Amino acid sequence: MDAAERLAAVAELSRREPAFAAVVERFGQPPAWDRVPGFPTLIHIMLEQQVSLVSALAAFNRLRLAVDPLTPEGFLRLDDAQLLAIGFSRQKARYGRALAAALLDGSLDLDALVTRTDDEVDAALFTIPGIGPWTATIYRLMALGRPDAWPVGDIALAQAVAELWNLPARPSQPELLTIAEAWRPHRAMAARLLWHHYLSTPRAPRSR
């Protein structure tokens, strides 16, 4: 999506939902949160699983200092102690190595995902241990720019919906899917607006 398409999507969502219009009025246009497709971005997203964005970014920055440029080959040269010092749990180290190995042996081609359908992208990414629906959807949203990507398992999205719509509790994943049906085909921009609210509202640090 280019800048004009983003603005049009925000305008359409704001027309449909006063809560989105209120987010824009209060905080301005949401950040794009775009990332370059490829191994570094996917590793970064894997680091963000179930941890705060701040701690994930700190670990990712340490990784980039340890491996420059950040390539699958360079990643695989890091031993367990180095990865632990960077901020990888043993489980995430295993997942990162599985991703790096798949890229090197050709069983996963991230460049090819650019032209694949959303379902095909997910199916390809799901072959890697540690990549589930949330990671795949975030990659489609941020790296591939898919306009209707909707990371339904994202806690911050659920919290933002609960706050903006004055719900008694966070909606469940099925409820969040149902709520977001009204935002097709702009659910990725809806997610950006919800993150914008969540991250711009003072609160204790927590994962997105």
Instruction: Reply yes or no on whether the pLDDT at 201 is more than 80.
Output: yes
- Measure the CA–CA gap between 87 and 79, rounded to whole angstroms: 13
Q: What is the pLDDT of residues 166-183, one digit of tens each?
A: 999 999 999 999 999 999
Instruction: Reply yes or no on whether the pLDDT at 188 is more than 50.
Output: yes
Enter the DSSP assignment of 153: T
Domain boundary assignment for the chain? 3-33+149-200, 39-142
Q: Alpha carbon 23 to chain centroid distance?
A: 20
- Measure the CA–CA gap between 95 and 85, rounded to whole angstroms: 16
Enter the DSSP assignment of 138: H
Is the separation of the CB atoms in 96 and 46 below 8 Å? Answer: yes
Q: Identify the pLDDT of residue 203.
A: 72
Q: What is the pLDDT of residues 90-148, one digit of tens each?
A: 999 999 999 999 999 999 999 999 999 999 999 999 999 999 999 999 999 999 999 99
Which CATH number is correct for 3-33+149-200, 3.20.20.70, 3.30.70.250, 1.10.1670.40, 3.40.50.10140? 1.10.1670.40
Q: Identify the pLDDT of residue 78.
A: 98
- Measure the CA–CA gap between 53 and 59, rounded to whole angstroms: 10
Of the pLDDT bands very low, low, confident and very high (cuts 50, 70, 90), residue 165 is very high
Q: How far apart are the first and last CA of the chain?
A: 22
DSSP one-letter string for 29-42: SPP-----SSHHHH
Domain 39-142 = CATH 3.20.20.70: no
- Measure the CA–CA gap between 25 and 23, rounded to whole angstroms: 5
Is the separation of the CB atoms in 139 and 41 below 8 Å? Answer: yes
Enter the DSSP assignment of 113: G
Mean pLDDT of the chain: 96
